[in-house]
Chains A and B, each alone.
Chain A
Amino acid sequence: MEVFERVLRRAEAGLRVPEPRRSRILLEMASDLEDLYRSYRERGLDEEEARERAVRLLGASPEVLAELGRTHGSRMAGVLDRVAGAGAHRLESALVVLVAALAAAVGAYAVWRSPVAAEPSPWTWAVLALAGLGAGAGLAHGLALFVRPRRITAHPVASLRVLPGLAMACVTASALGGLVVLAGIADAAEHGRSGSAVLWHGIAQAAGLGTLGLTSALVLAGVWLLLRRRARAVERARAAVREALADGIGPPTGPARAGEPGTSTEGDIR
């Protein structure tokens, strides 16, 4: 309904609340406006009066929108709230991230102790550059998703695929580098130019390179896992608002009671 759409667009513009909570509030307003309008119509009010009264009762004023912003706290509080919520409700994800972090720490220590740290090859720099790109992309996506989700125009989950892509590239580059090192050792051995010390040094360098690639990939995968959940939540909430705005008045439904079929917790549209 056009008049409700205008009210909701105004609310959308004035509501300073982190996503996906912001979209949930708009969705709540949209469904309440429609239901209130129906209720007034059922009581015999004409269309115009029903619309007018619904907007007067539930059309949020700028002061109300500002108060909602204060109620839902600062952006940083929103971020911390979401991070804590993620840990509480998705133990599995939290454990995977923890394991990834531990593996990354062990990997970083192994790389630091390996010849790769003392004598970095071009392959080492290539893997580090890819990991750096991934870290930058993760940071940019994290800032966009947690701090400025309103400015996201692209499909957030799709744009996050750059992170697993870069993780794969890290592993590939390190594997290629390791193969080149091993091929060099094999070539030297074939021409009788290497002793056991050179052989073991080369193997250690290849292993260090492989560990560096895997460690970088693990870190990027952990970041991707955390951000993907957030991106999905933002997408779901936005889709729900779009659906509500596009549908206008939906089919009449009776109010469901807590615990009945069709009743879900708030987490379902996070």
Chain B
Amino acid sequence: MIYIKILSLTGASPVSLDMQTVGRRINELLVLSSLREEAKHGYQIALDVEQDTRGAFELQHGTLYPILHRLEKEGAIEGRWTEEGRRRKEYHLTAAGRRRLGEEAGSLSAVFDRLMDILEEVRRGSLRARPAEG
């Protein structure tokens, strides 16, 4: 398992994340974001994630379902069964999910901004010139 330790933007509270958790949180964020405007069925969410990210993310091999069910269990989204023609399940974002979307987007952005800064310094060769942090 690869762990990264990231300082928050204020530099006050370090956050330790493993890459698997980062991946999971990104997937959750993309699913929540897909439901921001309207309720959708699972397959629509999978398609929209692919389209919204211009193919950068694809929820393959049914990865979507654990994400949906976990978010539903945590109250971030709510599933409803519809019966028009045949039974299908659609999901919509709850108020808690909307809050979580904002918080997660901010939190992950901060993590990736920091990472990008470090990578940029690596690229410019100026990383060693800085005093060690954390």
Which residues of A does B touch, CB under 8 Å? 11, 24-25, 27-29, 31-33, 35-36, 39, 54, 56-61, 63-65, 67-68, 71-72, 240, 243-244, 247, 250-258, 260, 262-266, 268-269
Contacts and interface: CB of A to CB of B under 8 A. Distances in A.
Given A71-B73, A258-B80, A258-B92, A36 B62 contact: no
Contacts of A61: 61-62
B38 interface: yes
A144 B79 CA distance: 28
A25 B80 contact: no
B65 A68 contact: yes
B58 interface: yes
Given A61-B61, A72-B69, A266-B79, A251 B41 contact: no
Contact of A255 (B40, B73, B81): B40
Contact of A64 (B47, B65, B86, B92): B65
A269 B81 contact: yes
A4 B79 CA distance: 23
Contacts of B82: 255-256, 260, 262-264
Given A257-B38, A264-B81, A31 B89 contact: yes
A225 B60 CA distance: 43
Interface residues on B, range: 20 to 34
Interface in B30-67: 38-44, 46-47, 58-66
A68 B66 contact: yes
B80 A250 contact: no
B70 to A, nearest CB: 5
Contacts of B69: 25, 68, 71-72
B87 interface: yes
A2 B16 CA distance: 46
A101 B46 CA distance: 49
- Most chain A beta-carbon neighbours within 10 Å: one of B39, B46, B85, B86: B86
B42 A32 contact: yes
B122 to A, nearest CB: 33
Contact of A58 (B43, B83, B84, B90): B43
B88 interface: yes
24 contacts: A27-B87, A32-B42, A32-B43, A32-B88, A35-B41, A35-B44, A57-B58, A58-B46, A59-B61, A59-B62, A64-B62, A68-B69, A71-B70, A253-B85, A253-B86, A253-B88, A255-B82, A255-B90, A257-B39, A264-B81, A266-B80, A266-B89, A268-B81, A268-B83
Contacts of B85: 250-253
Contacts of B59: 57
Contacts of A269: 81, 87
A71 to B, nearest CB: 5
Given A71-B66, A264-B82, A56 B88 contact: no
A269 B80 CA distance: 10
Given A31-B87, A32-B42, A56 B65 contact: no
B41 A29 contact: no
B36 to A, nearest CB: 15
Contacts of A253: 84-86, 88
Nearest to A263: B82
A123 B88 CA distance: 55
Contacts of A65: 62
A266 B78 CA distance: 9
B41 to A, nearest CB: 6
